[in-house]
């Protein structure tokens, strides 16, 4: 289970190798930096997944989550500030806070349920 | 071990359901609606281009249409469908009860739909929708050259949709890495799941560059920033090239599953194919500046070499699938028809890509209709056909009913005719000197009748798609019932009911290879 | 590969690529047809390890890829190489017209949407934009280059045939992008010198 993360890390390592070739070719440039950044991120993510021990614990499966939908609406509203002005972004942020509270309440309920 | 809580009912239940299957179906319905809208726009564009002169639209409207057509098909249709296929099938194929973080996927699915609404909302504004293409290069997309909120709504919409896609790909990737059934090692993953894995790698580690590029547009439009146009190009294409492979790999994976099942044998060369997928994916991340050959600002030789090398990985995939058919007994069921058409047509898109991977050839062909033909062959004649192979194959699993066979064959043959009529003339048009993103073109020999043929093809394609839509609507209620495993499948999704229950499996068969059900069947006949 | 001109290089390279790609497509179609028909006549075959065939196939593909890379890179280095030029053209792209400043031996002429050049000699182009990204495409010589607002890009072109040819903008640049066209008049050396003297400012 843990070793699967190494696939991602290996993939990232190949990207880093490619970026080294680019660094030799063009030096420090947008292209070489982009590829290096992507490769590093993949290696770190892959190692992180491989490191964490898998925990076959009881999990609660959320069937329905209204706060998650509300959070999406909040982000959407906030993005409308780009067109309508800062007030809409603030409103959206407010909706997101309410949604986040709902999500936390759900998480606590699910944890209680899973503990049985 | 999972426990279902917080059950919901009715429309609210369906809209707020976190079950990966419902998440995937919502995304699919949304993508289908955006595809109808984007497809209608394409038909209007082709009606305009059928003859030289402006007959159908104004130039301004045409520019809105091609921008929204491209933006829809990429951000709102093909990428979402690619991820939706994985979201639905990966937990089933690996024997899991759901994806990792179901509420995050629920959130992402709505974020994507709302992003699409934002993009389309531009049409309702005084200045109209965005008009600088699905690419929206700076400085054209800044507030001086693209005034009005339409472009801002495009930026916000794409930003949301892209974020949603990154999140969903992240959870699918984590699910593959951490939630496989006992016995399912990485080298026993079904081919479709491997294809989805590399898709998610490209999305998670390539798509964030687009968020940064969009941030540059916001900085230019709202904070007066002077953005280096070449920096924008690098960021955009660093996302944009992996994006086209995200719109390819899952559908290739679907074809691989269909080819195995309808050849009656497991894949020939599984290990080679897995290595080819991983190699192809790393390659996909290193080729992006072939979109910038004509800028004179990038090392053309490096990107020409990396781009050309991709043909080796594609060739391995073709070899393995052809060998599987060769060594099996081919059943020409509908999914297989579409799979074979995919293989036959995609290669045309592929080789025209190898042509444009050569800078000197690209100096002429870049930004011409040759490229438009190339990417429509890979994405429509290729990926879209592969998607249909997957849809005809998995529709019985999702709904418990078959899609109509006779109507499906009408759909297939109309689509083959329409697709090739529409897109093949484009190679010639580009070679002759017709550039892209033009509402009108000069009345020159060759340009007129080739455009007319292409537009006729588009009409046929439109009819084919309507036939398919009708088939879906009719089959949802009246289609022939299908059981758990109507095709003789190899992988775990066929070891549960059609459709599967909330928690996917009541029990799992033993997993000893990438084709566990085929193993069981072969054991029984020994 | 091909002549020293962009047109010659493109035509030669495209012919080679056309042959290779057409052969590849035909091979794939034949292989698919054979694979479909074969299985329907016999029963399913099991066993037999195709890995040696696959390895040979991969080596063959890689050789083709390397050959394509070699011919692509050498052609590109040749085309992009700078050569001494007697004629200099400053190109300014703007929404939505082309401004050309043509110079030879101290004479300089400015034209709009019309480029006059001599046949058969290297001409140095210096291109930039006044506003957004444009792209100067002359299909006759199989070449295009982006025009950026923040930098000047230089490249050489040679026009092997006299005549009047099309030029157009190949990078979407706003409302009248599709009308941003120009004509290219290629004349012989004497005719060009005469034209330049007559139009010089």
Question: Mean pLDDT score of chain B, rounded to an integer?
Answer: 96
Which chain C residue shows the shortest CA-CA distance from B337? C36
* CB-neighbour burial class of residue C94 (10 A; exposed 0-12, middle 13-18, buried 19+): middle
Subunits next to C (3 or more Cβ pairs <8 Å) are: B
Q: Does A97 touch chain B (CB under 8 A)?
A: no
Q: Which tens digits make up the pLDDT trace of B480-500?
A: 999 999 999 999 999 999 999
Of C68, C139, C181, Cβ closest to residue B308: C68
Percent of chain B with pLDDT over 90: 96
Helix ranges (DSSP H) in chain A: 4-26, 30-51, 66-79, 81-84, 86-115
Name the class of domain B21-525.
mainly alpha
Subunits next to A (3 or more Cβ pairs <8 Å) are: B
The pLDDT of B259-279, averaged and rounded, is 97
pTM of the model: 0.96
Q: Answer yes or no: is A61 within a domain.
A: no
Q: Which tens digits make up the pLDDT trace of C71-126?
A: 999 999 999 999 999 999 999 999 999 999 999 999 999 999 999 999 999 999 99
Contacts of B354 (CB under 8 A, 6+ apart): B307, B308, B311, C17, C21, C68
C contacts of B442 (beta carbons < 8 Å): 166, 181
> Which A residues in the span 10-49 are in contact with B, Cβ-Cβ below 8 Å?
11-12, 14-15, 18, 21-22, 25-26, 30-31, 34-35, 38, 41-42, 45, 49
Q: Where are the beta strands (DSSP E) in C130-180?
A: 134-138, 143-147, 153-157, 163-169
Residue C144's pLDDT is 98
Q: Answer yes or no: is A58 within a domain.
A: no
Q: Give the range of the structural domain holding residue A36, as residue numbers without chain letter.
A: 4-51
The pLDDT of B178-185, averaged and rounded, is 95
> Residue B4 pLDDT more than 60?
no
Residues A9 and A44 in one domain: yes
Residues A47 and A81 in one domain: no
The residue count of chain C comes to: 201
Q: Give the residue extent of every domain in chain B.
A: 21-525
Q: Please tell me the number of Cα atoms within 13 Å of B206 on its side-chain side.
A: 28
Q: Which domains does chain C have, with CATH numbers?
A: 6-80 (no CATH), 87-199 (2.60.40.420)
Q: Answer yes or no: is A41 within a domain.
A: yes
DSSP A52: S
CA angle at B7 for the pair B1 and B13, rounded to the nearest 5°? 130
Q: Answer yes or no: is A18 within a domain.
A: yes
ipTM field: 0.96
The pLDDT of A92-113, averaged and rounded, is 94
Q: Answer yes or no: is A28 within a domain.
A: yes
d(CA C52, CA B323): 13
B337, B464, B316: which is closest to B390 by C-alpha? B337
d(CA C42, CA B126): 66
User: Any idea which of A71-80, B22-31, B390-399, C192-201 has the lowest mean pLDDT?
Assistant: C192-201
Q: Which tens digits make up the pLDDT trace of B107-119?
A: 999 999 999 999 9
Q: Answer yes or no: is A14 within a domain.
A: yes
Cβ(A66)–Cβ(B18) below 8 Å: no
> Residue C44 pLDDT more than 80?
no
B28, B29, B35: which is closest to B88 by C-alpha? B28
- Number of structural domains in chain A: 2
Residue C2's pLDDT is 42
Band of the pLDDT at C42, cuts 50, 70, 90? low
Q: Which tens digits make up the pLDDT trace of A67-96?
A: 999 999 999 999 999 999 999 999 999 999
Residue A17's pLDDT is 97
SS3 call for C99? strand
Q: Does B16 touch chain A (CB under 8 A)?
A: yes
């Amino acid at each position: 289970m843990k070793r699967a993360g190494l696939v991602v890390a290996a993939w990232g390592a190949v990207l880093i190798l490619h970026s080294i070739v680019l660094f030799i070719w063009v030096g420090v440039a947008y292209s070489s930096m982009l590829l290096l950044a992507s490769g590093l991120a993949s290696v770190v993510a892959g190692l992180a997944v491989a490191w964490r021990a898998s925990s076959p614990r009881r999990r609660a499966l959320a069937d329905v989550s209204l706060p998650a939908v509300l959070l999406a609406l909040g982000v959407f509203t906030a993005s409308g500030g780009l067109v309508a002005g800062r007030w809409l972004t603030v409103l959206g942020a407010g909706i997101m806070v309410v949604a986040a509270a709902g999500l936390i309440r759900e998480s606590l309920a699910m944890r209680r349920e899973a503990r049985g | 071990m999972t426990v279902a809580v917080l059950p919901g009912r009715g429309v609210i239940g369906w809209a707020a359901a976190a079950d990966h299957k419902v998440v995937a179906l919502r995304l699919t319905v949304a993508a289908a609606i955006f595809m109808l809208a984007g497809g209608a726009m394409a038909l209007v564009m082709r009606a305009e281009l059928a003859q030289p002169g402006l007959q159908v639209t104004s130039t301004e409207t045409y520019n809105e249409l091609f921008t929204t057509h491209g933006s829809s098909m990429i951000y709102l249709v093909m990428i979402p469908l690619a991820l939706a296929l994985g979201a639905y099938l990966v937990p089933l194929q690996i024997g899991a009860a759901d994806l990792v973080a179901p509420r995050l996927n629920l959130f992402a699915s709505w974020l994507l739909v709302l992003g699409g609404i934002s993009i389309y909302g531009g049409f309702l504004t005084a200045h109209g929708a965005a008009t600088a293409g699905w690419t929206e290069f700076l400085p054209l997309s800044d507030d001086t050259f693209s005034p009005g909120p339409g472009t801002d709504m495009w930026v916000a919409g794409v930003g949301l949709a892209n974020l949603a896609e990154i999140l969903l790909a992240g959870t699918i990737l984590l699910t593959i890495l951490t939630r496989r059934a006992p016995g399912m090692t990485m080298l026993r993953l079904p081919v479709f799941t491997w294809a989805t894995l590399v898709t998610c790698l490209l999305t998670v580690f390539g798509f964030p560059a687009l968020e940064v590029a969009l941030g540059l547009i916001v900085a230019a439009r709202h904070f007066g920033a002077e953005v280096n146009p070449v920096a924008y190009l690098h960021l955009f294409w660093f996302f944009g090239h992996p994006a086209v492979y995200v719109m390819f790999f899952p559908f290739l994976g679907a074809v691989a599953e269909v080819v195995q099942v309808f050849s009656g044998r497991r894949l020939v060369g599984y290990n080679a194919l897995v290595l080819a997928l991983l190699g192809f994916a790393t390659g996909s991340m290193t080729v992006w500046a072939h979109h910038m050959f004509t800028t004179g600002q990038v090392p053309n030789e490096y990107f020409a070499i990396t781009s050309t090398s991709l043909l080796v990985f594609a060739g391995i995939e073709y070899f393995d699938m052809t060998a599987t058919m060769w060594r099996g007994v081919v059943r020409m069921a509908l999914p297989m028809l579409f799979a074979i058409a995919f293989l036959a047509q995609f290669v045309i898109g592929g080789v025209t890509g190898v042509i444009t991977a050569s800078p000197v050839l690209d100096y002429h062909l870049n930004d011409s209709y040759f490229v438009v033909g190339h990417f429509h062959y890979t994405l429509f004649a290729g990926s879209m056909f592969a998607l249909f192979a997957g849809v005809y194959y998995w529709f019985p699993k999702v709904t418990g009913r078959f899609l109509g066979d006779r109507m499906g064959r009408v759909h297939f043959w109309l689509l083959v005719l329409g697709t090739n009529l529409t897109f093949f003339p484009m190679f010639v048009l580009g070679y002759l000197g017709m550039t892209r993103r033009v509402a009108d073109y000069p009345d020159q020999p060759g340009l007129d009748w080739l455009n007319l043929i292409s537009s006729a093809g588009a009409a046929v394609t439109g009819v084919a798609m309507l036939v398919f839509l009708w088939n879906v609507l009719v089959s949802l209620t009246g289609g022939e019932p299908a059981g758990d495993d109507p095709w003789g499948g190899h992988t775990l999704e066929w070891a549960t009911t059609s459709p599967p229950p909330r928690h996917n499996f009541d029990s799992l068969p033993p997993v000893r290879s990438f084709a566990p059900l085929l193993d069981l069947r072969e054991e029984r006949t020994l | 590969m091909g002549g020293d001109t962009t047109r010659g290089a493109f035509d030669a390279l495209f012919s080679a690529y056309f042959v290779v790609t057409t052969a590849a497509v035909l091979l794939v179609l034949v292989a698919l047809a054979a694979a479909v028909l074969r299985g329907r006549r016999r029963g399913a075959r099991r066993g037999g390890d195709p890995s040696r065939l696959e390895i040979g196939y991969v080596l063959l593909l890689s050789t083709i890829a390397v050959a394509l890379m070699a011919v692509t890179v050498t052609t590109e280095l040749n085309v992009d190489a700078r050569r001494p030029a007697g004629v200099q053209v400053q190109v300014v792209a703007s929404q939505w017209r082309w401004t050309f400043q043509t110079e030879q031996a101290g004479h300089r002429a400015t034209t709009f949407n019309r480029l006059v050049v001599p046949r058969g000699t290297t001409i140095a182009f210096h291109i930039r934009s006044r506003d957004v990204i444009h792209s100067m495409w002359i299909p006759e010589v199989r070449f295009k280059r982006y025009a950026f607002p923040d930098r000047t890009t230089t490249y050489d072109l040679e026009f092997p045939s006299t005549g009047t040819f099309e030029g157009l903008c190949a990078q979407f640049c706003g409302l009248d992008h599709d009308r941003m066209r120009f004509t290219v008049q290629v004349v012989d050396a004497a005719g060009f010198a005469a034209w330049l003297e007559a139009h010089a400012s």
